[in-house]
Structure 1
Amino acid sequence: MKTEVLYNDNMHFEHVSWKRELAFWEDELKSFNNRLSELVTRWTDKDLLAKLEHYQNEFVLHGGVIEDLQEIIEEHETRIAGQDIEGEDALDTQLAKQHVEFRTKMENQRHIYAELKKEFFRFLEKYM
């Protein structure tokens, strides 16, 4: 079994990438909410308005997940910075384990978010 060694520089690089991705998602959610606002002014059908509320709730929930993920990244970055001050570069096994687990969380969230976007775009095609 091959053991992966995670160096602080590599974890930091991945954190930066994730932070950019999360910031992009935040911007997209703003755009999606703007689309919802447009639709609310166009439609009065109760079933459609219920769907709009569903998406609004999904976007709020996803925004909360983004905030949680950003917070975890910042905690990891603080820990890495502390190691750098102490002159350590790797082998904080707990941090490495958390990093790998977080990578899985990001992959899962990426999939969930992509599915939500596809569903929302299909919805927009139908009602915009």
Structure 2
Amino acid sequence: MNNTNLKVDEMPQPKLKQAVFETGALKRSLVFIREENMHLKNRVSEILQNGFDKKMLNKMEIFQNRFIMEDELVSLLRNDVAEIDRLLINEGKAIAEINKKLRKLSCNIEVAESHFGKLKLEFNNFLSENI
């Protein structure tokens, strides 16, 4: 039987386990980004509530908007992970399709992690210089 025609219930067990492991790792990465992003948004709120240099307001608004965009990106990526979970459950989907989607999603989450790390660093540097 050609591997590209394998159904999930016929998928070799190691490949299935690896796909499940990878989706779990991707979910944990997204949870981490979401939680860190929430902390940064809370930090913006805390700073704005406790007296701050008004010159910072524009930059703080920009950061807040970028954090909101990160939330939107994480939401989209979570939907992609859920789609892969459905593929793993759906008996009619081939392993090749699952692996292709996993590779693409892994790359997208890696980019999101990198982008978020830079955003977090930029925000913390901005606060260090201006508070």
Name the TM-score, length of structure 2 as normaliser.
0.80
The answer (yes or no) to whether the contact 2:33–2:113 under 8 Å persists in 1 is no
Question: Paired residue for 2:38?
Answer: 30
Note if 1:72 corresponds to 2:80: yes
Listed as ranges, the matches of 1:1-128 within 5 Å are: 7-41=15-49, 42-45=51-54, 47-83=55-91, 92-128=95-131
Structure 1: 5+ residue stretches without partners: none
Question: What count of residue pairs does the alignment treat as equivalent?
Answer: 118
Name the TM-score, length of structure 1 as normaliser.
0.82
- Deviation digits for residues 71-122 of structure 1 (CA, Å, limit 9, x no counterpart): 1101100110123xx7x8xx52222112111111111111111111110110
Query: For the residues of structure 2 that align with 1:52 and 1:113, how far apart are their CA atoms?
Result: 16
- State the percentage of identical aligned residues: 23
Query: For the residues of structure 1 that align with 2:29 and 2:128, how far apart are their CA atoms?
Result: 25
Query: For the residues of structure 2 that align with 1:22 and 1:92, how far apart are their CA atoms?
Result: 23
Query: For the residues of structure 2 that align with 1:108 and 1:29, how far apart are their CA atoms?
Result: 15
User: Structure 1 residues 17-26 or 58-67, which shifts more?
Assistant: 17-26
- Deviation digits for residues 12-59 of structure 1 (CA, Å, limit 9, x no counterpart): 1111111112112111111111110122121251x3101110010000
Structure 2: 5+ residue stretches without partners: 1-11
Query: For the residues of structure 1 that align with 2:38 and 2:95, how far apart are their CA atoms?
Result: 38
